[in-house]
Amino acid sequence: MFQSLEQLLLDTGMATPEQILDAQASDKGSNVAEALAEIGVLTQQQYIEVMEFYLGVPHVNLDAYVLKPDILRLLDADLVKRYKSVPLEKVGERLTVAMADPNNVVAIDDIAMATGCQVIPVIAAKSELDKVIRQHFTMRESMERVVQEALPEDDIDVKDLALMVDDAPIVRLVDNMIEQAVNEGASDIHIEPREDGLIIRYRIDGILHERMRPPKSTHPLVVSRLKIMAELDIAERRVPQDGRIKFLLGEDSSVDLRMNTMPTIYGEKVVLRILNPESIMLELTDLGFSQRNYDKFKDIITRAYGIVLATGPTGSGKTTTLYASLNYINSPSLNISTVEDPVEYRLGGVNQVNVHSRIGMTFDAGLRALLRQDPDIIMIGEIRDMETLETAVRAALTGHLVLSTIHTNDAPSTLTRMVEMGLPPFLVVAATNGIIAQRLVRRLCRDCQGKGCSRCNRTGYRGRLAVHEILTFTDSLRQAVLDGRGASELRKLARAEGMVTMYEDGLEKVEQGLTTREEVARVVGLDYI
């Protein structure tokens, strides 16, 4: 046993006498090893190893630990944050607590007094403790204070709300809710009033996960705070409202939120779409294409004219694919314009136009106006009606490249959908370069390879990747469209002539260890086998 921590650091060569003196003179950390870690002499892993050896206490990897809500509630947030200590297990009267400094006797005594238990300290990395505290305690503390101040919903008038939603507890609660969602990689936040309470859920990798159940009394405060942030009318609760929030994550970072409210029988439901520019500004090579599909897609988006359609359900990544396409073909020599509903992400060097249907600025009207602006490439957010489709085809046949989305189940059925909308088959064949259909499947967690860890919220999945099918014309496929063949016949013909389906593309990604067969079947559906 070493006589001192300083001697251990010197004898193992982890620190020099000068570095130890600098650490002792600093006000960082509760011991010399932690101070060395704070000033960058030791890594977090080295700090853990030193303390584990010096004190003879085990270390725990919180990222791989299953935290129990009932155990976490044994300590209040103030105590947890003050000592960076998280309760993990309770057996009888023995409470195992993860700590940044297991040698802090004051912390151990205070925790023992608060819980009435014998504290068994284990060491954990400070970064892991900070993450757990942020996710499980900071928001809980804010919520508890909001609950103390909240009034029954029927008793709150607009003037009271306007005053209350500027108070620190509700501000912190809403800020923490958004920060946690961003940190967990959520795409949407759902705030849902129910008969007996409020449910807050995050959509992560396409799946909704419940995160909180605050009391019903907090609902008007949360909604009103968000409305003020989005510059909406807090007095109007009878009709839907749309707004936008620019939320600061730090001094140099921000995220945009698109907010929509919807009146329900239990109050206003709010959905916040998290618009993270980093998640949308991808290169073509980042979209998970197989080499075969990459070559096909690159060919159809680099032609001088024609229509390229992306199809799939809402949330399948169509917009990301089109934005990546524009990034790929963008050039100072090209005039590129978009018509979107709404413009969610700003693209450098691209003229972007918002649709405003109420004042007559529809997709078709915007597209017709853009054709008078000498465009080279046009992106239409969605083809919804025959008028827009006709104008897009006219643009494609007069020397413009047109990119757009359309809602169909797969690539071949898009051809029949265009005919059903009223476009003659010969124009479908003449104008269309190709069609890409896609879905997003969850990616196996790189840290645990599907076993489940704290990094993937015990799901075994973290992040998503696309599976694609790309249809391009052959002579026989053109003739089949002209002959009025149905979607199933077109599909069989396209497969016979080399089209790889989304399901088959997904199975290739299963073989590469990127996802699972169950996930591909869940997202794509067995109809595509």
Mean pLDDT, range 3-15, rounded to an integer = 81
Does residue 436 carry a pLDDT above 90?
yes
Mapping DSSP to helix (H, G, I), strand (E, B) and coil, where does residue 85 land?
strand
Higher pLDDT, 359 or 259: 259
Does residue 163 carry a pLDDT above 70?
no
The pLDDT confidence band at residue 449, using thresholds 50, 70 and 90, is: confident
Identify whether 342 is preceded by a cis peptide bond (ω within 30 of 0).
Answer: yes
The torsion of the CA quartet 319, 325, 327, 329, rounded to 10 degrees, works out to -150
The pLDDT confidence band at residue 169, using thresholds 50, 70 and 90, is: confident
Q: Distance (Å, rounded) from C-alpha 409 to C-alpha 313?
A: 7
Mean pLDDT, range 41-56, rounded to an integer = 81
Q: Distance (Å, rounded) from C-alpha 341 to C-alpha 362?
A: 9
Q: Distance (Å, rounded) from C-alpha 223 to C-alpha 221?
A: 6
pTM of the model: 0.74
Distance between first and last Cα of the chain: 65
Does residue 114 carry a pLDDT above 80?
yes
The pLDDT confidence band at residue 142, using thresholds 50, 70 and 90, is: low
Largest CA distance in the chain: 90
Residues 209-250 have pLDDT tens digits of: 888 888 888 898 899 999 999 999 988 889 999 999 999 887
Higher pLDDT, 164 or 409: 409
Check residue 8 and give its pLDDT: 81
Which position has the token pair 């940190």?
A: 183
Of the candidates 174, 271, 159, the residue with the CA atom closest to the CA atom of residue 218 = 174
Q: Distance (Å, rounded) from C-alpha 160 to C-alpha 285?
A: 52
- Mean pLDDT for the chain overall: 87
Check residue 2 and give its pLDDT: 55
Q: Distance (Å, rounded) from C-alpha 160 to C-alpha 168?
A: 15
Pairing of strands 306-311, 432-444: parallel
